[in-house]
Chain A
Amino acid sequence: AQSVTQLDSHVSVSEGTPVLLRCNYSSSYSPSLFWYVQHPNKGLQLLLKYTSAATLVKGINGFEAEFKKSETSFHLTKPSAHMSDAAEYFCVLGTSGTYKYIFGTGTRLKVLA
């Protein structure tokens, strides 16, 4: 069975400190993994994607994620949080050959001044 788990529903960090948003997945097949960000009252924007190429994926706005098959993880990181990073982040699992993507429940990131 395919599933994705976001380990934290809420994360708070101070501005200028590192961000870590955790995501674990379960898939019997080679996964595609994505991180999307949703700012309040906005649509979902693709931050980055992993599709079996390089395991360290760089995205927009300084975010990156590392695919670790042995740990079935795809955690999202950023070295230094900015106030504009406050949003909800979704980890998404796709499986080759299927259109159905599985969305995590989201992690709400709060950035403190």
Chain B
Amino acid sequence: DAGVIQSPRHEVTEMGQEVTLRCKPISGHNSLFWYRQTMMRGLELLIYFNNNVPIDDSGMPEDRFSAKMPNASFSTLKIQPSEPRDSAVYFCASSLVVGYTFGSGTRLTVV
């Protein structure tokens, strides 16, 4: 298995632009998580999907953030419009029973 695949690895965008981050979880995993990592706040859980259904989005910072999981093999995290304070590394993780497998992350820089 190729693991959790995220794209792009790096994204640099201008403030106000729309950004879409993508994630392909491990086949057979039924849970998917989006995390954000910054120096100041560490790892923050943004949203959790179970069987493609959003269960907990209480960590999504504000309405500018949205996430979808149209099927078991794909999820997106969208920021519209982006702001400099959104600059961070965004991780996707998937899980079946116990423990996460993380992707390599997307480093987002908003200038």
Are the chains A and B members of one assembly? Answer: yes
CB distance A43 to B103 under 8 Å? Answer: yes
Band of interface residues on A:
10 to 19
**A101/B103 in contact, CB under 8 A:** no
Per the 8 Å Cβ criterion, residues 39-92 of A in contact with B are 41-46, 49, 51, 90
Interface contact A100-B45, CB-CB below 8 Å = yes
Interface pair A43/B102, CB less than 8 Å apart: yes
A32 CB–B CB distance under 8 Å: yes
Q: Is the CB of A49 within 8 A of B91?
A: no
A105 contacts across to B, CB distance below 8 A: 42
In the bound assembly, the distance between CA atoms of A81 and B96 in angstroms comes to 32
CB of B6, distance to nearest CB on chain A (Å): 8
Which range contains the number of B residues in contact with the other chain? Answer: 20 to 34
The interface residues of chain B, by DSSP majority, are classed as: strand
Q: Is B111 an interface residue (CB 8 A)?
A: no
Residues of A within 8 A of B42 (CB): 103, 105-106
Measured between beta carbons, the chain B residues less than 8 angstroms from A100 are 45, 48, 56
Q: Which residues of B contact A34 (CB under 8 A)?
A: 99
Cβ B99 vs Cβ A46 within 8 A: yes
Residues 1-60 of B contacting A (Cβ, < 8 Å): 4, 31, 33, 42-43, 45, 48, 50, 55-56
Q: Given A43-B91, A106-B42 in contact, is the A94-B102 Cβ separation under 8 Å?
A: no
- Whether B50 lies near A99 (C-beta < 8 A) is yes
Give 3 closest A-B pairs by Cβ, nearest first. Answer: A43-B104, A43-B102, A44-B102
Q: B residues touching A (Cβ–Cβ < 8 Å)?
A: 4, 31, 33, 42-43, 45, 48, 50, 55-56, 91, 93, 95, 98-105, 107
